[in-house]
Amino acid sequence: MGINWVVFFAQIVNLFVLVWLLKKFLYRPIINAVEKRQAEIIGKVNKAKEEYALAEKDHKELAKKLKNFEATKKKEFDKAAKEIEEFKTHQMTLIKEEAHKLRQKMQEDLNRQADSLHTQIRETLADNFVVLAKKMMHELSSESAFCGSLSLFQKRLTTLSKTDINKIKKSYEKQNIVSISSSETLSKKMQEELAKFLSKTFDWPLPLKMCFETDKNLILGFEMTIGDQSVEWNLKSYLDEYQTKLNTSLSQMIVKE
């Protein structure tokens, strides 16, 4: 049996062609697909490792944040508890201060009411006494007493200072009229005598222009008015002075009590 070398070499050539075709169109795509798949798997593994690393990092950071949060929460809780306690203490202090102020105000109001009551009692006693004294003076006044009060009024004019006299003279030069008020009606004779006395005392020429009127508020007394200048003598001024002193005395007595 002989070898057909033509067929042999043809088969060899076919084998090489087949190998080349397999390598060209089957083996290389398979190898490329495997390598591509391997690269994809390696990429996914690396990506998974990176994601795991990131997850591990995030976990650690989360654990750290949680720890810090717990510490902050405890700190804030302690701070809030302290502030609440301080607020309670402050409010209690304010309440005590307000209560103390309220007690002081109530006490001051009571003291003012007591002072007002004492003042009313004091003034009522003094006023009633003075009213009674004035009434008694009016009832006890007589013509002789009235004449005596005129003498005292004239004496009062003679004791005026030079300054007061000059003021009265200047006022008379402007007004040129003398107003005389008296507790009782002056007779014609008393009016003339008083005019002569004023003329002599202040160097005023007669006749003087005078205006006479009766003032029941005056008690056994007289009041001379010339413009803005005024001179008086009457028991009312003494009683007013006595009323002031009585009020002062009663006030001091109440304060001592």
pLDDT digits (tens, 9 = 90+) for 44-73: 888 878 888 887 887 788 778 878 877 777
Same domain, 70 and 119: yes
Q: pTM for this one?
A: 0.41
Same domain, 10 and 103: yes
Same domain, 5 and 121: yes
Taking each helix axis from N to C end, the angle separating 188-202 and 143-158, rounded to the nearest 10 degrees, works out to: 10
204 pLDDT more than 50: yes
Same domain, 161 and 221: yes
Q: For residues 202 and 208, what is the distance between their CA atoms, to the nearest angstrom? A: 11
Same domain, 202 and 246: yes
Query: Among 118, 140, 162, where does a domain finish?
Result: 140
Domain housing 109 = 1-140
Name which residue leads in pLDDT, 129 or 217. Answer: 217
Within a 10 A sphere around the Cβ of 186, how many other Cβ atoms?
A: 18
Q: How far is CA 170 from CA 41, 165, 212, 221, in A?
A: 132, 9, 21, 25
Query: Among 140, 167, 197, where does a domain finish?
Result: 140
Order of strands, sheet of 178-182, starting from the edge strand that comes earlier in the sequence: 210-214, 178-182, 222-226, 229-233
Task: State which amino acid sits at residue 64.
Answer: K
106: pLDDT confidence band, cut at 50, 70 and 90? confident
How large a percentage of the chain has pLDDT more than 70?
Answer: 75
Number of structural domains found in the chain: 2
Same domain, 55 and 67: yes
Query: Among 97, 118, 140, where does a domain finish?
Result: 140
Mean pLDDT of 229-243: 72
Name which residue leads in pLDDT, 168 or 143. Answer: 168
